[in-house]
Amino acid sequence: MDLSYTPEQLEFRQEVRAWIADAMPAEMKKHAEDGANFAQSETMEWHKILYAKGWAAPNWPEEVGGTGWDIGQRSIFQEECVRAGTPQLSPFGLSMVGPLIIQYGTDEQKKRFLPKILSGEEIWCQGYSEPNAGSDLANLQLRADKDGDDYILNGQKTWTTYAQYADWIFVLCRTNNEGKKQEGISFLLADIHNTEGIDVKPFLTTGGTLAFSETWFKDARVPQANRVGPEDGGWTMAKALLGHERTGIGGIAESARSLRQAKQIAQRTAVGTETLFDDPDFRRRIARKEMRLRAIEMLNLRTLAAAQVGHAPGAESSILKIVGTEMQQEATELCMDAMGQNAMGWLDSPEEALPSHQQAIASQFNYLRAATIYGGSNEIQKNIIAKHVLRLPTA
């Protein structure tokens, strides 16, 4: 199996890198260089720039607005976006519900939803987790009871990322209490703004951002026509979405960026007459992280090479999720260590107290404490690996 990039792929990388450098607005570039958090308006501005170029949905088929790129090109494009520090587009429409509708949706659903997801005209969020159904997602209790041509939804979702900006939410809900828990779940699309009884309440993370919300449903009426796939058949689609989510959650390019940032901070941090980067112990820590990241990159390339010949992500996505999220946490921790007492700074620290390029590091460090939990906790991923990779017997 050849895991190296071809000359054509390297040429494609240069094309993407040059285009991003030319397409990013100056203020957006400055925010990227500073490592600042992008406002929702900037994220949507970048979405529209990509849409105009035809690059908003690299993983969609060409006939519905995709790029026609292969797996390798899509991976390169993602790496170059992270390298340039571009705003990260919301995955919920483009990478999750969009592909699901493409695969399982009716012709009417495809015509209604796909163009507005692609253009960014409608923003989506995910309604999976509940207060008592996180890693044990099959335990979800959001009720969907039939009433005429509609479902009546009652219950709660939590960790609904950026739901305060979303126009639509896709939810897993319980339509049947008989049989196994997984067999009574359906997949519904709900219009947040035009459905009475849906209430979104953002809350602060420990990173000081309003990244998550609680979403409440009280007698919310959703048309049965908005169900994707068969009734009680939502678990199959949920697993498909999570498999692809876990490969992306690995965040290899993000970890590489954090390690570069740790080096930059160390080179600017005075320790006596030298810098922190002159300390052999600190350089040794960086080297160990870089070697581990390279090993993870090789694992990711193996997964991409397998996908290139038609093998969908399987249990190996759980391996990538574990090692990738642990690496993200370790890389941001290294940045914090390099900053020393400045790591106590925050998003609103004055420039004279903390350089702008360091103000978001503590927030990112805090946010990524959840990386080993969201997308299915790493403990759950280890169970999947034991069962499907190591083939260990279960109790």
pLDDT digits (tens, 9 = 90+) for 357-393: 677 888 889 888 888 988 778 898 898 888 888 876 6
Highest mean pLDDT among 28-32, 159-163, 223-227, 251-255: 223-227
75 and 163 assigned to the same domain:
no
Per the prediction, the chain carries an average pLDDT of 88
The token pair at 209 is 């951002």
Decide if 243 is inside a domain: no
Decide if 175 is inside a domain: yes
Instruction: Report pLDDT for 247.
Output: 53
Cα separation of 69 and 76, whole Å? 10
Q: What angle do CA 333, 345, 210 make, to 5 degrees?
A: 85
Identify any residues that bridge with 127 across adjacent strands, giving them in sequence order.
171
CATH of the domain at 211: 2.40.110.10
Instruction: Report pLDDT for 1.
Output: 46
Decide if 94 is inside a domain: no
279 and 331 assigned to the same domain:
yes
Mean pLDDT of 263-274: 87
pLDDT in tens, 285-300: 999 999 999 998 888 7
262 and 354 assigned to the same domain:
yes
Could you tell me the pTM of the whole model?
0.84
The token pair at 282 is 């600190």
164 and 283 assigned to the same domain:
no
Decide if 28 is inside a domain: yes
281: nearest Cα among 337, 361, 339? 337
123 and 227 assigned to the same domain:
yes
Q: Is 245 a catalytic residue?
A: yes
Mean pLDDT of 101-124: 96
158 and 276 assigned to the same domain:
no
Cα separation of 282 and 13, whole Å? 32
Instruction: Report pLDDT for 19.
Output: 98
Mean pLDDT of 267-284: 90
325 and 351 assigned to the same domain:
yes
Amino acid at position 168, single letter: W
265 and 227 assigned to the same domain:
no
Identify any residues that bridge with 143 across adjacent strands, giving them in sequence order.
154, 174
Across 64-75, b (16+ Cβ under 10 Å) vs e yields bbbbebebbbbb
Mean pLDDT of 262-288: 91
Quick check: 102 pLDDT over 50?
yes
Neighbours of 316 (CB within 10 A): 20
| Structural domain range at position 57 | 7-89
Q: Structurally, how many domains does the chain consist of? A: 3
Cα separation of 108 and 386, whole Å? 41
Q: Which of 42, 245, 316, 330 is catalytic?
A: 245
Q: Which residue has the higher pLDDT, 45 or 74?
A: 45
Instruction: Report pLDDT for 272.
Output: 81
Decide if 229 is inside a domain: yes
Identify any residues that bridge with 186 across adjacent strands, giving them in sequence order.
173
Decide if 163 is inside a domain: yes
Quick check: 394 pLDDT over 70?
no
265 and 371 assigned to the same domain:
yes
CA distances from 193 to 164, 219, 305 (A): 10, 15, 42
372 and 269 assigned to the same domain:
yes
Residues 6+ apart with CB under 8 A from 368: 325, 328, 329, 332
pLDDT exceeding 70 applies to what percent of the chain?
89
Residues 6+ apart with CB under 8 A from 152: 143, 144, 145, 146, 219, 220, 221
CA distances from 125 to 128, 164, 382 (A): 10, 9, 27
127 and 69 assigned to the same domain:
no
pLDDT band at 185 (very low <50, low <70, confident <90, very high): very high
Helix or strand run (H / E) with residue 218: strand 212-223
Report the chain's C-alpha Rg in angstroms: 22
- CB hemisphere CA count around 87 (13 angstroms): 23
Highest mean pLDDT among 137-151, 254-268, 339-353: 137-151
Cα separation of 325 and 251, whole Å? 7
307 and 335 assigned to the same domain:
yes
pLDDT band at 316 (very low <50, low <70, confident <90, very high): confident
DSSP label at 13?
H
CA distances from 153 to 38, 224, 312 (A): 34, 11, 33
